[in-house]
Chains A and B, each alone.
Chain A
Amino acid sequence: MFDAEALGLALSALFTPWTLVLLVFGVVIGIVIGVLPGLGPPVALSLALPFTFAMDFVPSIVLLLAIYSASIYGGSISAIVAKIPGTGAAVATAQDGNAMFRQGRGGEALGLSLTGSVIGGLFSAVVLMIFAPLLAKLAAQFGPREYLAVCVFGLAVVVRVAGRSLWKGLAMAGIGLWLTTWGIDPLSGGERYTFGSYNFYSGIKLLPFLIGIFAVSEVFIGAEKALTKIEFDTSSLRIQIPGWKRLNELKGAIMRSSVVGTIIGIIPGEGAAVAAYYAYAEEKRRSDEPDAFGKGSPIGVLAPETANNATVGGALLPTMTLGVPGTPAAAILLGAFAINNLTPGPKLFEERGDIMYAIYIGLFLINIVMMVVGYFAIRFAAQIIRVPQTIILPLVLLLSICGVFATTNSLFAVATMLAAGVFGYCIRKLGFSVAPLVIGFVLGVIFEDGFRQSITTSQGSILEFFNTPIGLVIYALLFLTLFGGAIWKQLRKLGGGNK
């Protein structure tokens, strides 16, 4: 399993001045974008993606992973300082974090969020390093039916957890899948929705679509409340990193939240926000003083922040081994693989072990750098919340347009991005979740290929789809994920009734 040559290649690609500069830059930019309300990891990653076109893979993935990790952490700063979560993942932190800040314990809250984020990130990197090769080995046995099962699993779970309406989620997943049928049919060569334009031959491009859905729609949404002013007291911004003794007292909460975050990160669709909430609720349930939560409990800051950063390594597990992204942010990371003509999956583990090692080691370095940058830059980062949205949002739009044009040299791609932005704005305003749309769009090609190849090899029999042990396990897991809770409830009810 261990490949010294690949490790050497990874180290030589990582420890170049350019890659290290990008790593630090990624952490800084990630924290800045995470701090800004509304601009979470997907927006940060989609804005950065065009800049990676001119880079080799290792520097580009290091930059993107640094932005991904740091933007999740950055969201906690505005949550603590101004009770405005920079990202969805920091919503759970806002209550206790801001309560501590108002009590003059802002430094302690900021220190706990930084330390928790770093420990959660490191823990998930270790899990990724151990389990990714094992899952890749299993995935090597996957055929079209198994990949179809994985896609069905991913989509169903995303739809189940994203948004409040199941049917709205299903409609969005369907639209995401359907949009990938545009262009030349890869299996038969037939034209589909090309409208007589060569621009559509290769279908709707991933990059303009993602930037439109995340960044451009966020500009329109943000425009509505762009004049809101944010003020906070700057006297409590001196960060206090918890010492060994304090960490020892909190080790139970740290371990539990790291495990929760990593596992939830692996499950498609769940993501950092759900992990943070789950960890918060779990620690509150276990606490001797549950009433202290929401009023300035240090564990109320530490648990969600540890869990939300632990989702990074977790989300990378299915993304790297199966090519199935669990979260919108992971879907954008897949874009970085596609730009470099790399297909995540078991083959990549066999042929490009250096890339995998670079990602593992890169994640470790990112978290260590995040600790240092976070420590020194927190005071400055918190001030960024005050930059008016009327400056930030137009620049996000300008960067989006320039980024798409720079990578495609096509006004058609810019038009695609704007169309995706307008569509994203409409559906977000109408209460749809964009996660099923994006995951559907990313999985569409694998889904259709898996379905059509499966039906061809099974000579039209749908039952043959289930004639695979791995596929059956995946479908059983899906069934348990969707209906396990309800069945368990019914069983407990029956058990209670018998008593």
Chain B
Amino acid sequence: MIPQRIANLIFAVIMLIVAGYMAWLAWSFTTPALGGATLPTKFFPLVLLGFIAVSIGIYVFEYLTKGHSGEDGDEVVYAGFPQMRRGLLTLAVVLAIFWFWRDGGEMLESALGFKFSMIPIWGIAGLVLAPAVAFAMGARVWWHYIVLVACTLLIYAAFAYGLGTRFK
């Protein structure tokens, strides 16, 4: 699923756009008076962005002319749809739970008009994370979830009581 050639070309275009934007940002970096004796602050980022752009440009050229860069012409990014679904779903679940921990929980509280008083937002995010990730990976055996919740509590105890971490 998805040939390496197509995926790499799309990635290269994104990277070139990002490199261009970062170079534009770097152009406005100023060197304070105390740094006058050295090279300008923007010198190194700009040189490196140029280097990155040239390297990407050459591997794009290889894909366009030879069809591969490093003999990956016949390869695909994902072995099949189920693999792609599991990988991307796991990624989405992780990002969603992090968003809930960081902002989403509070937003939900204010939208619903009440506070999660029994368990704090980080607690909900922490408890849900491992089982939700396992579900996204395709786990359908009930005892996996029991083990994950038990291990989550153990890990919490190790950090909170062993290392003195104060989750928030």
Contacts and interface: CB of A to CB of B under 8 A. Distances in A.
Interface of A: 51, 53-54, 163-168, 170-171, 174-175, 177-178, 181, 185, 187-193, 216, 219-221, 223-227, 388-391, 393-395, 397-399, 401-402, 405-406, 409, 411, 414-415, 418, 421-422, 425-426, 429-431, 448, 451-453, 455-456
A167 B83 contact: no
B148 A394 contact: yes
Nearest to B68: A165
Interface residues of B, number: 77
B30 interface: yes
Contacts, number: 202
Given A178-B49, A192-B29, A220 B98 contact: no
Given A177-B48, A188-B35, A394 B133 contact: yes
A148 to B, nearest CB: 12
Nearest to A217: B91
Interface in B47-63: 48-49, 51-52, 55-56, 58-59, 62
Contact of B4 (A193, A226, A431): A431
11 contacts: A167-B59, A181-B44, A190-B29, A219-B133, A395-B148, A402-B156, A405-B165, A406-B163, A422-B95, A429-B87, A456-B37
A223 B136 contact: yes
Contacts of A166: 70
Contact of B144 (A178, A388, A414, A426): A388
B55 A452 contact: no
B113 interface: no
Contacts of B130: 394-395, 397-398
A455 B138 CA distance: 56
Contacts of B8: 430-431
B129 A164 contact: no
Given A51-B163, A166-B70, A187-B35, 7 more contacts: A164-B72, A171-B59, A190-B41, A220-B94, A224-B84, A227-B138, A430-B11
Contacts of A216: 94
Contacts of A394: 129-131, 133-134, 137, 148
